[in-house]
A and B are shown apart, each in its own frame.
Chain A
Amino acid sequence: MSKVVKAKYTAEAVPGFTHRTALEEAARCLLCHDAPCSKGCPAGTDPAKFIRSIRFRNVKGAAETIRENNVLGGSCARVCPYDNLCEEACSRCGIDRPIEIGKLQRYAIEQEKLFKMKTLKAPSKKQAEKVACVGAGPASLACAAELAKAGYKVTIFEREEKAGGMLTYGIVPSRLPQSVVDHDIAQVKGLGVKFVFNTEAKAEDLEAFDAVFVGTGLWDANLPKLKGAELKGVYSAVDYLKQARTKKKDFDPGKRVIVVGGGDVAIDCAVTAKLLGAEDVRILYRRTIEEAPANINEFHYALSLGIGITTGLYPVAAIGTKTKMNKVEAVGFYDKKAKAEFSCDALVFATGQKPEDQSAYGVDVNEKGFVKVKKGGKAGGKFFAAGDIVNGGKTVVEAVAEGKEAAASIIAYLEKKGVK
C-alpha cells in the first residue's frame, strides 16, 4: 500500500520557515550583484533586497520591501510559479538548487502579521479625484493600493460578498488559506480604500468617478462540447471551488470525482475533492504531462494525496439521470480510437475561463471578449483595465504587475487632466 499524505482542506499543506530555518535559507543566498531573481519578478517584489534583509536580521525591513512592492505579497508567496520566475533566475541554480524565495517571502509576511506591522500608509493630504475599480481581484487590489498610496480616493465594487476574486473563490485553501488572503486585503483596506460588496457596478455607478479601472477577471467557464453537460454533477472549476469555499459543510464534493484539465486550477479542484472526502479522484488531461501548464510540484502534491492522473483522454459524454450522473465517456486525444468509461458522480471542467459581458464599462473587447488596452492598461478615456480580463488569464503576480502599471497610467492621466 502506498503511503499517501493526509491533509486538511483548510490547513496550509506546506509548513513555513522558523526564524532559524529562514536564516539558514537566507544564508544560502549569494546576494548577487544586480540580482537576477529581482529581475525575474513581474511585480517587482525585489527578492534580492528582502532576502538580504532577512540575512542581516532585519525581518521587518524584509516585510516592508515585499509589502511596498507587492500589496498581495502574502498570497503571491503561496501561489506564484517561482520555478518559472525568480527561482528559475536564481544564480544559485548554477551550484545546486535555487533559494526558496517564495517560502522566505511567506516567512517575512508571517512576521509582518506577528509584529502587527502597518507598512503601507496613505498620505493625509488627499487628491481631489476619485477612482473606481470594478472587481476586487488581484489586479484591482494592486491598482487600488497604488492609487491610495498616491492619495487618491478609491472605491472597489465587488459583486461577491468578499474581496480577493480568484484568491478567495478559486484556489484550494490548503494552498492559499483564507487568512492569508484576508491579511493581504486588510493592507488595502488599511490604505482607506472603500469596498462596496454584493454590487455589480453599472455604467451609472461609475459616472461620478474621474477614472475607472476594470479588473473584472474571467468568471465564465470555458466548457467543451459535451453530451449531458446539463446534468447535475457537472461543474465548472470556478463553481466547484467557490461552492466548496462558501457552502463549507453543506458542499458535497462527490464520491468519484473526475477533474478535466491540466492546469493549477484542475489540481486545485482535485485536491479540494480529495481533502473534502471524495473516495476516488482522478485528473483527466487530454495531452501529456510535459504539455500541462500546471507546476510539476503541484502534480507531485496531487499524486502524494492519492489523486490519479490520466493523460491522453478527453470526455465526450456525461451519462446519468437529471438528478445524478453516474459515468463519463472519454476518447483518445492522440489516438482517436481509444475509448474509456469512468464511473463518476462529479465531473469538473477546469478547462479555462472566458470573459463575461463587459459592455457596462465603456471598454472595447476583442473577438474573444477580452478587453483591448494600450500600454499601461489604457482602455480609452477614463477607462483602464488589467489582469485576466485583459491578458486572457495568467498568474496572480502578473495581475499585480499589470494593476500597478495601470495605476501609474491612471495617475498620469489624472495629473494631466488636473493641469488642464
Chain B
Amino acid sequence: MAVKKDLSLKYLGVDCLNPFFLSSSPVGGNYDMVAKCYETGWGGCFFKTVGIFVADECSPRFDQTNKEGLPWVGFKNMEQISDKPTELNFEYMYRLIRDYPEHITVASIMGSSVDEWKKLAKMADEAGAKIIEGNFSCPQMTSHDMGSDVGTNNELVESYSRAVAETVPHIPFVAKMTPNCKNMEEHARAALKGGAAAVSAINTIKSITNIDFENNTGMPVVDGKSSISGYSGAAVKPIALRFCTQVQQDEEIQRMAKEGKWNFGHGHEMSGIGGIETWRDVAEFLAIGCRNIQVTTAIMQYGYRIVEDMASGLMHFMDEKGYDHLDEFIGCALPNLIPAEDLNRDYKVLPAFDEKKCIGCGRCYISCYDAAHQAIDWNEKKRRPELNDNCVGCHLCLNVCPVQGCITPGEIKWKVRDENGVAVREANDATHIKFKKDARKEKKLALKAQYE
C-alpha cells in the first residue's frame, strides 16, 4: 500500500486540501488551465493577477539561465498581469469556485489607485473568492503606479491594503511582497497595519539573465532591445527562504498577526514562493513557518503533474519522521536559524576521507589549495588526498567531492581559549569548555548524532 498522509490544513481559516497552490502567473490564467491543475492534485490557485489595467505584452518574453548544460537553473519573464478583460477573469474565477468548491481559487488583484483596489476587491467578493491576494510586487509593470514600485512604498502598501480590507472585511487579504527591497519586514508590517491578514513572498527578482551579443542587449530581445524583469526558478529558492524566514522571525509581525482579526493560533500565516520544484522544497518552506506554498516556474518547465511527486514525497517524508499532520512540523526550523554571532565557534569538524571510495580526481586538493587553507597534500603516486594540520574544518572539500560518501565529517577538534577568548590550541574533547551543567554532554552527543 502506498503511504497515505493527511496533507490538509487550514490557511487563514480556509480549509485547504493541501498546501500546494499555483502562484498568480501564466500557469493559472483561465478556467481550463486551473480546472486541469485541480484535477491533477493542486489544492488551490492564485489566479493570474487581474487589474483594471489590461496588459499589452511583448514577444518574446522569457529567457532562462543554465549551468553546465542544465537548463532552467533560473527563469526570467517579462509578462505583466492578465491580458484578458477584467470581467472575463472574474467570470473564470466564479465558475472555478462554483465547480471546484473544495479547491481554493484565490483572486489576485492589482489596482493603481485606492478606487481601483476597492473595485477589484468587490468584484473578487462577487466572484466568491475566499481569499484575495494583492500583487504589490510585479517588477515589470509598464506603470509606476503598480507592481514592485508600490511594494516598497509603505504608505501605498498600507493604504491599498486598507482599501481592500475595508471593502471586503470578511475576506482575508494576502499582500504579495517584492524581494526588490532593503527590508521586507517593514513592508509586511505596513500591509498588516493596513488590515492585510498575511503576506506572501517572494515575487520575482529584478534581473538581466544574459546579454545577446548580436544586438548588444539583454535577453529576450524585443526589436533589438530588452528590459530588466523578474527572475525566478530554482536559483532564487535560497533568497526566498531567507525573506520568508526574516518575515516569520519578526516579532512585530508575529505580534500584529496574533492581535489582529485573522489570528487562528498559528501566528503569522506566511505563503512561501520561490523556486519550489520538489516535495523537499515544500517541506523546507513549511519548516520556516509557511502554511501555504505557491509554484509557477517549475510548472512552466514540467507541467502540473509535478504536484503528484510533491504530495507523495511529502507523505513519505512525514511517514519517515513520524508526522501525521503538516502542523506538526510547520515552523520547526525557525528557532534554529539564529544570528551568526550566536553560533557555537568552539570546535571544528575535520573531514574524513574514505580511501576506498576515493577515485583520485584531486578536486578536493585543487579547491583546498586555491580557495581554502592548503590543508590537503596531494599524493601523486597514489593519487590520493592527505589532510595536513592546516585544516580549519570549512568543508569545502566535502562540497566539491564528486563521489557520494567519500569525504564526510570526521573527527571533532575543540578550541582551547586563553583568558581573552583567543583560541591558542586544540583539544580532542570538550572537558575544558564551561558548559552549563550537563549541557556539555548533551551538546557533544547532539553534535555527534548530527554528524554520524
- The interface on chain A, measured as residues whose beta carbon lies within 8 A of the other chain's beta carbons, has a size of 20
Do residues B359 and A95 form an inter-chain contact, with CB atoms below 8 A? yes
Tell me, rounded to whole Å, the shortest Cβ–Cβ distance linking A281 to chain B: 39
Do residues A91 and B360 form an inter-chain contact, with CB atoms below 8 A? yes
Do residues A92 and B359 form an inter-chain contact, with CB atoms below 8 A? yes
Q: Which of B26-34, B362-370, B431-439 contacts A (4 or more CB under 8 A)?
A: B362-370
Q: Which residues of A contact B383 (CB under 8 A)?
A: 34, 36
Q: Which residues of B contact A26 (CB under 8 A)?
A: 68-69
- Is chain A's binding surface mostly helix, strand, loop or mixed? helix
* B378 in contact (CB, < 8 A): yes
Do residues A55 and B362 form an inter-chain contact, with CB atoms below 8 A? no
* B332 in contact (CB, < 8 A): no
* B70 in contact (CB, < 8 A): yes
The 8 closest A-B pairs by CB, nearest first: A33-B362, A94-B359, A27-B68, A23-B69, A24-B69, A30-B361, A32-B361, A91-B361
Tell me, rounded to whole Å, the shortest Cβ–Cβ distance linking B189 to chain A: 44
Do residues B378 and A33 form an inter-chain contact, with CB atoms below 8 A? yes
Which residues in chain A, 243-274, are within 8 Å of chain B measured between CB atoms? Answer: none
Tell me, rounded to whole Å, the shortest Cβ–Cβ distance linking A239 to chain B: 46
Q: How many A-B residue pairs have CB under 8 A?
A: 49
Bound-state CA distance A366–B70 (Å) is: 57
Given that A91-B359, A92-B359, A94-B359 are known contacts, is A30 also in contact with B402, CB under 8 Å in the complex?
yes
Tell me, rounded to whole Å, the shortest Cβ–Cβ distance linking A118 to chain B: 22
Partner of A33, one of B70, B71, B363, B402: B363
Q: Which residues of B contact A31 (CB under 8 A)?
A: 361, 363
Partner of B363, one of A24, A30, A95: A30
Which residues in chain B, 361-397, are within 8 Å of chain A measured between CB atoms? Answer: 361-363, 365-366, 378, 380, 383
Do residues B403 and A34 form an inter-chain contact, with CB atoms below 8 A? no
Do residues A27 and B402 form an inter-chain contact, with CB atoms below 8 A? no
* A20 in contact (CB, < 8 A): yes
Tell me, rounded to whole Å, the shortest Cβ–Cβ distance linking A126 to chain B: 39
Tell me, rounded to whole Å, the shortest Cβ–Cβ distance linking B287 to chain A: 31
Bound-state CA distance A202–B365 (Å) is: 57
Bound-state CA distance A26–B378 (Å) is: 24
Q: Which residues of A contact B359 (CB under 8 A)?
A: 30, 91-95
Do residues B365 and A33 form an inter-chain contact, with CB atoms below 8 A? yes
Centre residue among B366, B378, B402 by max chain A CB count within 10 A: B402
Q: Which residues of B contact A21 (CB under 8 A)?
A: 69
Bound-state CA distance A21–B365 (Å) is: 29
- Is chain B's binding surface mostly helix, strand, loop or mixed? loop
Known: A24-B68, A34-B383, A95-B403. 20 other contacts (CB 8 A): A20-B69, A20-B71, A21-B69, A22-B69, A23-B69, A26-B69, A27-B69, A30-B361, A30-B363, A31-B363, A32-B361, A32-B362, A33-B362, A33-B363, A33-B365, A33-B366, A55-B68, A93-B359, A94-B359, A95-B359
Centre residue among B69, B71, B403 by max chain A CB count within 10 A: B69
Partner of B361, one of A24, A27, A33, A55: A33
Do residues A34 and B69 form an inter-chain contact, with CB atoms below 8 A? no
Do residues A94 and B403 form an inter-chain contact, with CB atoms below 8 A? yes
Which residues in chain B, 330-372, are within 8 Å of chain A measured between CB atoms? Answer: 359-363, 365-366
Do residues A34 and B68 form an inter-chain contact, with CB atoms below 8 A? no
Do residues A27 and B70 form an inter-chain contact, with CB atoms below 8 A? yes
Do residues A34 and B363 form an inter-chain contact, with CB atoms below 8 A? no
User: A: which residues have CB within 8 A of B?
Assistant: 20-27, 30-34, 36, 55, 91-95
Q: Which residues of B contact A55 (CB under 8 A)?
A: 68
19 A-B pairs whose Cβ atoms sit less than 8 Å apart in the complex: A21-B69, A23-B69, A25-B69, A26-B68, A27-B69, A30-B363, A31-B361, A32-B361, A33-B362, A33-B363, A33-B365, A33-B366, A34-B380, A34-B383, A92-B359, A94-B359, A94-B403, A95-B402, A95-B403
Bound-state CA distance A34–B383 (Å) is: 9
Tell me, rounded to whole Å, the shortest Cβ–Cβ distance linking B116 to chain A: 45
Bound-state CA distance A95–B401 (Å) is: 12
Tell me, rounded to whole Å, the shortest Cβ–Cβ distance linking A87 to chain B: 14
Bound-state CA distance A5–B363 (Å) is: 41
Q: Which residues of B contact A25 (CB under 8 A)?
A: 69
Tell me, rounded to whole Å, the shortest Cβ–Cβ distance linking B423 to chain A: 31
Do residues A34 and B362 form an inter-chain contact, with CB atoms below 8 A? yes
Bound-state CA distance A32–B378 (Å) is: 12
Residue of B nearest to A30 (CB): B361
Bound-state CA distance A203–B441 (Å) is: 90
Centre residue among A20, A25, A92, A95 by max chain B CB count within 10 A: A95
Q: Which residues of B contact A24 (CB under 8 A)?
A: 68-70
Tell me, rounded to whole Å, the shortest Cβ–Cβ distance linking A108 to chain B: 15
Q: Which residues of B contact A94 (CB under 8 A)?
A: 359-360, 403
Bound-state CA distance A20–B69 (Å) is: 6
Centre residue among A34, A55, A93 by max chain B CB count within 10 A: A34
Bound-state CA distance A33–B369 (Å) is: 12
Bound-state CA distance A94–B406 (Å) is: 12
Tell me, rounded to whole Å, the shortest Cβ–Cβ distance linking B406 to chain A: 10
Do residues B68 and A23 form an inter-chain contact, with CB atoms below 8 A? yes
Centre residue among A24, A32, A55, A92 by max chain B CB count within 10 A: A32
Bound-state CA distance A330–B182 (Å) is: 86
Do residues B363 and A32 form an inter-chain contact, with CB atoms below 8 A? yes
Tell me, rounded to whole Å, the shortest Cβ–Cβ distance linking B212 to chain A: 15
Bound-state CA distance A93–B403 (Å) is: 11
Bound-state CA distance A25–B70 (Å) is: 11
Q: Which residues of B contact A20 (CB under 8 A)?
A: 69, 71
Q: Which residues of B contact A34 (CB under 8 A)?
A: 362, 378, 380, 383
Bound-state CA distance A236–B395 (Å) is: 62
Which residues in chain B, 57-81, are within 8 Å of chain A measured between CB atoms? Answer: 68-71
